[in-house]
Chains A and B, each alone.
Chain A
Amino acid sequence: MAENTVKTSMTMIQALRSAMDVMMEKDDNVVVFGQDVGYFGGVFRCTEGLQKKYGKSRVFDTPISEGGIVGVAIGMGAYGLRPCIEIQFADYIYPAYDQIVSEAARLRYRSAGDFTAPITIRTPCGGGIYGGQTHSQSPEAVFAHVCGLRTVMPSNPYDAKGLLIASIENDDPVIFLEPKRLYNGPFDGHHDKPVVPWSQNPLGEVPEGYYTVPLDKAAIFRPGKQLTVLAYGTMVWVCEAAARETGIDAEIIDLRSLWPLDLETIVESVKKTGRCVVVHEATRTCGFGAELLSLVQEHCFYHLEAPIERVTGWDTPYPHAQEWAYFPGPARVGAAFKRTVEA
């Protein structure tokens, strides 16, 4: 479509805002709300200007009540609206856990399609920002385990907009996790180097109008032959740096949709490379990496030439002062690449 050919340099914040703008324009049933998202435009600016453009009945501030925000969204979904709501930090999504797990995820099933919950829950996640224990968590495994939910995480502005539009349009409830470390620019884990803004990255070139990036489809972020890397969010960039710095020809798969996921792309890649490393920021035990390991083992056992490794956050709460010892940076990831290739 002609409107899509006009591209603008956008940060992830601007791309997400653009996605909501496009969808609010396109569909009168899309409403946006959450803590500080209305007049103020969000603590991360993701909804800036939307209330002014679409009015208070479609973009509004809410009380500080995560269960309430998700609960009213489910009720609105049952009425026929398509809410795109925000939980200020993924670390604060837990009060809404009952509404998400027992209600949003189950509504279609338990009512045999009588009622549905076509809602998108946006929430900033991930560390690498000195956020400490309650501004850094990656709770994706908590949602990937819940049948009836879709869990999505973009790694760049182009995908962020396309995936968010696809999520809002999707009739299933979507947990849309936004790595806040990537809001203003890609981050490869080298915290001692200056941040490069999205304007200097081709993935910051975003169409102004409507487009989608399909759910359930992974992206080959970096093609390679020596090993397959399964990653998402900030870790995609860390893995790319690790490949560059170790000289290992890693095929980095950006999952984008965590669950349901694109098993075909994963299996095809591992069968080709024979080696696999799984990388995420979240804590290790029962993290989403465990599921990825299991799937690769189940589907690629006879093609594997080395044990599957996983590089993750430690099984500790996310610390403040020890940020870079916790965060799985390029050195730790690169070491795993080497072990796997040499095994």
Chain B
Amino acid sequence: MSKGEPLRLHVPEPTGRPGCATDFSYLRLSPAGAVRRPEVDVAPMDTRDLAYSLVSVLDGEGNAVGPWVPQIDIEVVRKGLRAMMKTRIFDSRMLMAQRQKKMSFYMQSLGEEAIGTAQALALNVDDMCFPTYRQQSILVVRDYPMVDMICQLMSNERDPLKGRQLPVMYSVKKAGFFSISGNLATQYIQAVGWGMASAIKGDTKIASAWIGDGATAEADFDTALTFAHVYRAPVILNVVNNQWAISTFQAIAGGEDTTFAARGVGCGIASLRVDGNDFLAVYAASQWAADRARRNLGPCLIEWVTYRAGPHSTSDDPSKYRPGDDWSHFPLGDPIVRLKQYLIKAGAWSEQEHEETQKRLEAEVLAAQKEAEQYGTMASGHTFSPAEMFDGIYKDMPEHLRVQRQQLGI
């Protein structure tokens, strides 16, 4: 044995830092329409190539091409575009409200609107989603009232969660939107359990699990894949790879020289890697995975390749760790711009309709905000009574909590 060189610790770095451009060649892209669409009963091992390529439908000119072009009613696509626009308007409006101190905190989903929207449209409303804090588009497209969302954000007297939760941690059972937890990845394995329960009861409902690229490093991610595979749980395991976990580039999460979709194949789960900014691809892949799950063929993991265009949260300043103009260079563009181009080309949308819709949705969001503010804001101090603090910890209030509530003088 020859004497080796000193070992060196490898610490991945993004190519782009403030002041220099990101080299997006690491993304492993495929041309629109180039990736095959297997039968829905494909063996997980036979999806290896799909886990290392990229399913996309919309080409640069707004044409829908290739085997993944979905069978979708044009009205559904229009609904999808409106929901994406509404999500973005809602986000920007709530960002402003946070800056005006009407709420303590907010998280946008700028650039990621297509993923939640299109998957929710491909599912039934009684299929339960286990979202992270960045899938508000699911609530929007499922027509959950914006007023209720804003009341939660403002922790006011009409907050469905009674002021107990940080803004954006919604819980809406009737919209198939599981209670959001601050603890990352926990909901991923819970989604698998929900799907297993549906299978135990001989139901036809499926679960939709959500996680970000950074949170895949949590143990619950691997656990969820193992259980989903072992019990062939009817669940769609979504990994939203937006390249960033707060300031941490996806390579530090384990994305360097591999894909998150590949993790699924390694665990015996059929896996796809899909253009997350291509509404039609998201819809088609979600429908494929839902069909697979509903037919007892097992789970599917989908890595959605997208880009976190906005700051991580209202407490974050991305200019401290990545180029300011990064999103404009991201090769997969803007999901709203791309779908708009497609719809116009298909003769089902126009610049004028876009503009009118934009204005109408802005007015809708503004009206919802005004209505919600009638029930109070953080600034106005109109929140639930502190007596509520002791309620709902257990089904029935135990004696010690009754005593503590009295000690608070209420």
- Interface, chain A (partner B; CB < 8 A): 31, 57-58, 62-63, 65, 67-68, 71-76, 78-81, 95, 98-99, 102-103, 106-116, 147-148, 150, 170-172, 216, 260, 263
Contact = CB atoms under 8 A, between A and B. Distances in A.
A76 B194 contact: yes
A172 B396 CA distance: 9
A172 B398 CA distance: 12
30 contacts: A62-B227, A65-B227, A68-B224, A68-B226, A71-B189, A71-B190, A71-B193, A71-B224, A72-B192, A72-B196, A72-B227, A74-B190, A75-B193, A76-B194, A76-B197, A78-B128, A78-B194, A79-B197, A79-B198, A79-B201, A81-B197, A102-B181, A102-B182, A102-B183, A106-B181, A108-B395, A110-B161, A110-B164, A112-B160, A114-B172
A257 to B, nearest CB: 10
A71 B186 contact: yes
A115 B178 contact: yes
A95 to B, nearest CB: 7
B193 A216 contact: no
B392 interface: yes
Given A81-B197, A109-B164, A112-B164, A68 B189 contact: yes
A111 B226 contact: no
Given A68-B226, A76-B197, A260-B399, A112 B392 contact: yes
A110 B169 contact: yes
Interface string B176-210: 00110111001001111111111111000001000
Contacts of B92: none
Interface in B219-242: 219-220, 223-224, 226-227, 230
A13 B168 CA distance: 46
Contacts of A73: 193
Interface residues of B toward A: which range? 35 or more
B197 A63 contact: no
Contacts of B183: 98, 102-103
Interface string B105-148: 00000000000000000000000101000000000000000000
B171 A110 contact: yes
A67 B220 contact: yes
Contacts of B193: 71-76, 78-79
Interface in B343-400: 392-395, 398-400
Contacts of A115: 171, 173, 178-179
A148 B179 CA distance: 16
B200 A110 contact: no
A120 B41 CA distance: 36
B181 A103 contact: yes
A107 B189 contact: no
B48 interface: no
A108 B165 CA distance: 12
Contacts of A62: 227, 230
B37 interface: no
B263 interface: no
A67 B227 CA distance: 11
Contact of A58 (B190, B194, B200, B220): B200
Contact of B395 (A78, A80, A114, A171): A171
Nearest to B194: A75
A95 B223 CA distance: 11
A77 to B, nearest CB: 8
Contacts of A95: 219
B179 A114 contact: yes
Nearest to B183: A102
Nearest to A118: B395
Contacts of B160: 112, 114
Contact of B393 (A67, A78, A148): A148
Nearest to A264: B399
A95 B189 CA distance: 14
A57 B200 CA distance: 6
B294 interface: no
Contacts of A75: 130, 189-197, 207
Contacts of A114: 160, 171-173, 179
A28 to B, nearest CB: 8
A72 B179 contact: no
Given A71-B223, A75-B197, A112 B162 contact: yes
B138 to A, nearest CB: 15
B200 A71 contact: no
Contacts of B190: 71-72, 74-75, 78, 103
B149 to A, nearest CB: 14
Contacts of A31: 200
Contacts of B181: 102-103, 106, 110
B279 to A, nearest CB: 29
- Of B162, B197, B399, B400, most A-chain CB atoms within 10 Å: B197
A94 B195 CA distance: 25
Given A58-B200, A81-B200, A109-B164, A172 B395 contact: yes
Nearest to A101: B183
Contacts of A58: 200
Given A95-B219, A102-B181, A263 B395 contact: no
A73 B190 CA distance: 7
B186 A102 contact: yes
Contacts of A112: 160-162, 164, 171, 392
A58 B202 CA distance: 12
Contacts of B392: 108-109, 112-113
Nearest to A115: B179
A164 B223 CA distance: 28
A107 B173 CA distance: 12
Given A75-B207, A103-B183, 17 more contacts: A65-B223, A71-B190, A75-B130, A75-B195, A76-B194, A79-B128, A103-B181, A110-B171, A110-B179, A111-B171, A111-B173, A111-B179, A112-B160, A115-B179, A116-B395, A216-B398, A260-B400
